Amino acid sequence: MSIFPAPPDPRRPVDIAVGIQWGDEGKGRIVDLLARDYAIVARFGGGDNAGHSIEVGETKLALHIVPSGVLVERTKLLIGAGTVVSLRGLVDELDTLVKLGVDTSRVVVSARAHIVFPYHAALDRLLEKQRGGAAIGTTGRGIGPAYVDRVGRLGITFGDLAKPEVLATKIRQALLARAPLFAGAEGVPREEDIVGETLTLAERIVPHVVDDVALLHDAIARGERILAEGAQGTMLDVTYGTYPFVTSSHTVAGGACIGLGIGPTTVGRVLGVAKAYCTRVGSGPFPSELSDERGERLRAQGREFGVTTGRPRRCGWYDAVAARYAAQLNGLDGLAITKLDVLSGFGRLGIVTGYRRADGTPCGVEGLADPGLQVEVEEHPGWDVEIRDVRRIADLPAAARAFLDRLAQVTGVPVLAVSVGPERSALAV
**In the complex, which residues of this chain contact ligand IMP (CB under 6 A)?**
23-24, 49-51, 136-139, 141, 143-144, 232, 236, 245, 247-248, 281-282
42 strand-pairing partners:
78, 228
| Catalytic residue, candidates 24, 124, 160, 333 | 24
Omega of the bond prior to 381 within 30 degrees of 0, cis?
no
Residue 120 vs 380, nearer CB to ligand IMP: 120
- Cβ 120 to ligand IMP, closest distance in Å? 10
Q: Is 379 exposed, middle or buried (0-12, 13-18, 19+ CB in 10 A)?
A: exposed
- Cβ 329 to ligand IMP, closest distance in Å? 17
Residue 178 neighbours by CB distance under 10 Å: 19
Q: Under a CB-based contact definition with an 8 Å cutoff, are residues 8 and 18 in contact?
A: no
- Cβ 154 to ligand IMP, closest distance in Å? 18
- C-alpha span between 294 and 372 (Å, rounded): 21
First to last CA, the chain: 10
Closest by alpha carbon to 302, among 329, 279, 283, 268?
279
Residue 67 vs 268, nearer CB to ligand IMP: 67
Is position 48 annotated as part of the catalytic site?
no
Q: How do 267-275 and 14-19 pair as beta strands? A: parallel
- C-alpha span between 234 and 229 (Å, rounded): 13
- C-alpha span between 314 and 324 (Å, rounded): 21
- Cβ 231 to ligand IMP, closest distance in Å? 6
| Catalytic residue, candidates 15, 32, 48, 52 | 52
Residue 138 vs 266, nearer CB to ligand IMP: 138
Residue 8 vs 137, nearer CB to ligand IMP: 137
- Cβ 123 to ligand IMP, closest distance in Å? 11
- C-alpha span between 326 and 386 (Å, rounded): 30
Residue 126 vs 216, nearer CB to ligand IMP: 126
Helices in 222-275 by DSSP H: which ranges?
254-260
Q: Is 191 exposed, middle or buried (0-12, 13-18, 19+ CB in 10 A)?
A: middle
Closest-CB residue for ligand IMP? 282
Is position 193 annotated as part of the catalytic site?
no
- Cβ 392 to ligand IMP, closest distance in Å? 30
Q: HEC profile for 27-45?
A: HHHHHHHHHHHCCEEEECC
Residue 51 vs 155, nearer CB to ligand IMP: 51
Catalytic residue ranges: 24, 52
